[in-house]
């Protein structure tokens, strides 16, 4: 999508140059980025998802569809968890159109004997944040059309023009030509015109075309009641949400319910030579032809096939295509079958079309003026070589230097003014940790990773995270005082090193603290991504409440209530053990080199359970623990708005546990490894 990003900046460049000159002289105008004018070719699922996403970004969209939408395809479609998640982002739930959750898959031979054990999708559903649904394609299409053209909702309604055949597209000028000879121009073209795409050929000479494979499919649906009324077929289709696949040597039948379990959908894939030729998705076949192709299957299966009406069997060719060298040219991008038609595999054809549409729309937000915020820092004081040489000879074995260098060593959590460790004094320090562990979306958490080298240990789309509110006190390096922090931890994270080795730990994308000193030492010495906000903690009886605010604007709140009575360990308390090491990503920008970093690497901070012991522990019922983040906007939170916005988007699926723990002894986080 590099070209699409360039389009965004090109649109900005097309703004009034006088405004640019005034801004350079310190005068700011009220010019706002204009919405894009977008032409979408084709009105299929990928096109509609792209159009809705673009509409919700504030752009103006017109769809040109060659058909009249009079005869919608009656086949069903798998909305796999990744597809359902994508649809959720644009406000579409296929269940509102009668989609059925997939409960089990049965795998049988043509003889109606079990080929392998059933796949229990319902039992495995907890791993995924969104359900696997069996939708009716026409009903999903209607949901998308309604969402597109409705005057309700975010963004300007989409214009959907039917009986409008596009015969040519020019990516460099973003112009299309209609069958009537009329031309239309916009800022951007989205080509979603299916297998026989016109826009695909506009990518350049020699673009591959889709070809028919040696496989065809009979497709049809009929009322489930027809099979339920027959005592022979009823046992097969009575369980709701079950997909059955029968396999022969060179052909198969797939059956599953849809439309609120009122319709049965059949897909019967077979050699092309067995059924004759077809060039489109509207050719009908005879029931006799269907039964002849599957004559070797068990009689009960044939009885299911025989219940379809004579004129309801469609014959579909299955298309494939060589991979395109690119999906983007000039001001045009392809989605769905126009970009990558392929044979049915893992139920991902429709899912990829949906994801294509969402991706294209997401890549083009309304705010097209991608401003570069230049940041600088005070220059380091000139080092005093004579003093440094002297200190290097007389201070601790590994003094930690921090800016400003010209004043000697600075005290911090890991050393005093003479470079000696604070480890002994930290044994007398105290901490109070209030934590809330919860389940949330892996997809959302993944957006907080700084690079693709970070991943989750499991492929589950539901993962664990923890918010920890910590108050530290009796810190010698702060003159006996302390401070408070709020840390966000993502559990079960792996970092893949260049040699392929995986390093596991809990990852901290951000830590909020209410004192500058630990923020500076933590960022510079360890690379912990710390930011500042005021943290107000109030304890009342069996409850604990905390607010996080910046200059009076509250952007986070946490609450624990009905805390249990403190449990006090015996005379020899067990050391408090943290099961995961800590992963953070150290990043320091390079001065004068845009996009270049002086430091850009992961840091592993190993935990030391022996450094602290539990003094008391209180449990909080999960349902009595809560938290919320507020996206207060850039005006109220000029330096924290991105953080507040991202944390506010993190969904909470369930609170797993909550507690308040008081400890004696604090780690100095000195066991640190840079994973370079």
Spell out the domains of the chain, with CATH numbers in brackets: 2-97+132-210+322-362 (3.50.50.60), 212-318 (3.30.9.30), 372-410 (no CATH), 414-674 (2.40.400.10)
Q: How confident is the model at residue 2 (pLDDT cuts 50, 70, 90)?
A: very low
Q: How confident is the model at residue 668 (pLDDT cuts 50, 70, 90)?
A: confident
* Confidence check: pLDDT of 90 > 90: yes
> What local confidence, expressed as pLDDT, does residue 621 receive?
93
Task: Tell me the per-residue pLDDT of 36-75, one tens digit each, with 9 for 90 and over.
Answer: 999 999 999 999 999 999 999 999 999 999 987 644 455 8
CA dist 279 → 164, 169, 252, 409, 537 (Å): 21, 24, 21, 79, 70
> What local confidence, expressed as pLDDT, does residue 368 receive?
39
Sign of CA dihedral 302, 304, 306, 308: negative
What is the full DSSP assignment across 342-377? ----TT-HHHHHHHHHHHHHHTS-S-----------
**Mean pLDDT score, 10-33:** 36
> What local confidence, expressed as pLDDT, does residue 575 receive?
36
Q: Cα separation of 78 and 99, whole Å?
A: 9
* Confidence check: pLDDT of 572 > 80: no
* Confidence check: pLDDT of 220 > 90: yes
Task: Tell me the per-residue pLDDT of 395-405, one tens digit each, with 9 for 90 and over.
Answer: 555 667 777 76
Please give the biggest Cα pair distance in the chain.
Answer: 99
From 490, 449, 475, 443, select the one nearest 462 (Cα to Cα): 443
Per-residue H/E/C for 188-217 = EEEECCCCCCHHHHCCCCCCCCCEEEEEEE
* Confidence check: pLDDT of 451 > 50: yes
* Confidence check: pLDDT of 240 > 80: yes
Q: Cα separation of 561 and 55, whole Å?
A: 43
Task: Tell me the per-residue pLDDT of 249-298, one tens digit each, with 9 for 90 and over.
Answer: 999 999 999 999 999 999 999 999 887 765 555 678 899 999 999 999 99
**Mean pLDDT score, 349-360:** 89
Q: Cα separation of 518 and 530, whole Å?
A: 9
Verdict on whether the full-model pTM lies above 0.85: no
The alpha carbons of the chain give a radius of gyration, in whole angstroms, of 31
Residue with the bigger pLDDT between 316 and 21: it is 316
Q: Cα separation of 120 and 118, whole Å?
A: 6
Q: Cα separation of 216 and 294, whole Å?
A: 13
> What local confidence, expressed as pLDDT, does residue 205 receive?
86
* Confidence check: pLDDT of 221 > 60: yes
């Amino acid at each position: 999508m590099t070209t699409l990003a360039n389009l965004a900046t090109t649109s900005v460049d097309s703004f009034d140059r006088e405004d640019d000159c005034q801004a350079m002289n310190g005068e700011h105008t009220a010019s706002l980025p204009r919405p894009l004018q977008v032409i979408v070719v084709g009105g299929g699922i990928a096109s509609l998802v792209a159009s809705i996403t673009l509409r919700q970004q504030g752009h103006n969209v017109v769809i040109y569809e060659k058909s009249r939408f009079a005869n919608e395809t009656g086949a069903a479609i798998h909305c796999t968890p990744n597809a359902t998640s994508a649809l959720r982002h644009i406000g579409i739930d296929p269940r509102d159109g009668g989609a059925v959750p997939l409960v089990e898959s049965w795998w049988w031979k043509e003889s109606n004997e079990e080929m392998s054990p059933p796949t229990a999708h319902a039992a495995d559903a907890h791993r995924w944040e969104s359900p696997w649904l069996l939708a009716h394609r026409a009903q999903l299409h209607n949901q998308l059309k309604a969402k597109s053209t409705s005057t309700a909702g975010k963004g300007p309604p989409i214009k959907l023009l039917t009986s409008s055949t596009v015969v040519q597209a020019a990516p460099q000028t973003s112009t299309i030509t209609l069958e009537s000879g009329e031309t239309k121009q916009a800022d951007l073209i989205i080509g979603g015109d299916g297998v026989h795409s016109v826009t695909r050929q506009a990518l350049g000479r020699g673009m591959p075309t889709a070809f028919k494979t040696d496989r065809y499919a009979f497709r049809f649906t009929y009322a489930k009641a027809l099979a339920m009324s027959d005592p022979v077929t009823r046992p097969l289709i009575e369980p709701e949400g079950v997909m059955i696949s029968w396999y022969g040597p060179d052909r198969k039948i797939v059956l599953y319910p849809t439309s609120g379990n009122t319709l049965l959908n059949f897909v019967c894939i077979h050699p092309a030579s067995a059924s004759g030729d077809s060039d489109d998705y509207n050719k009908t076949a005879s029931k006799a032809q269907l039964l002849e192709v599957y004559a070797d299957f068990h009689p009960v299966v044939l009885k299911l096939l025989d219940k379809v009406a004579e004129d309801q069997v469609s014959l579909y060719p299955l298309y494939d295509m060589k991979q395109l060298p690119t999906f983007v040219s000039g001001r045009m991008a392809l989605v769905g079958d126009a970009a990558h038609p392929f044979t049915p595999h893992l139920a991902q054809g429709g899912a990829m079309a949906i994801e294509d549409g969402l991706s294209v729309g997401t890549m083009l937000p309304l705010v097209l003026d991608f401003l570069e915020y230049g940041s600088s820092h005070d220059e380091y004081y000139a080092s005093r070589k004579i003093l440094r040489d002297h200190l290097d000879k007389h201070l601790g074995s590994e003094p930690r230097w921090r800016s400003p260098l010209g004043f000697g060593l600075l005290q911090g959590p890991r050393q005093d003014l003479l470079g000696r460790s604070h480890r002994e004094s930290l044994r007398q320090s105290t901490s109070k940790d209030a934590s809330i562990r919860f389940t949330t979306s892996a997809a959302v958490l993944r957006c907080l990773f700084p690079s693709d080298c970070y991943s989750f240990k499991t492929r589950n789309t539901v993962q664990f995270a923890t918010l920890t509110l910590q108050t530290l006190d009796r810190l010698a390096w702060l003159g006996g005082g302390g401070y408070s922090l709020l840390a966000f931890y993502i559990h079960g994270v792996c970092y893949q090193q260049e040699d392929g080795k995986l390093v596991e730990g809990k990852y901290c994308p951000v830590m909020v603290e209410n004192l500058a000193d630990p923020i500076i030492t933590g960022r510079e010495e360890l690379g912990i991504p710390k930011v500042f906000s005021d943290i107000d903690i109030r304890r009342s009886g069996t409850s604990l409440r905390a607010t996080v605010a910046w200059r009076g604007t509250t952007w986070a709140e946490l609450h624990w209530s009905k805390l249990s009575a403190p449990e006090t360990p015996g005379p020899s308390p067990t050391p408090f053990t943290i099961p995961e090491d800590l992963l953070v990503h150290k990043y320091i920008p390079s001065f004068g080199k845009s996009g270049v970093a002086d430091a850009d690497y992961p840091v592993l901070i190993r935990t030391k359970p022996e450094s602290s012991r539990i003094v008391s522990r209180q449990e909080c019922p999960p349902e009595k623990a809560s938290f919320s983040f507020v996206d207060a906007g850039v005006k109220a939170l000029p330096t924290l708005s991105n953080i507040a916005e991202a944390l506010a988007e993190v969904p909470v699926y369930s609170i797993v546990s909550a507690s308040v723990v008081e400890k004696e002894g604090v780690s100095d986080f000195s066991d640190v490894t840079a994973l370079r």
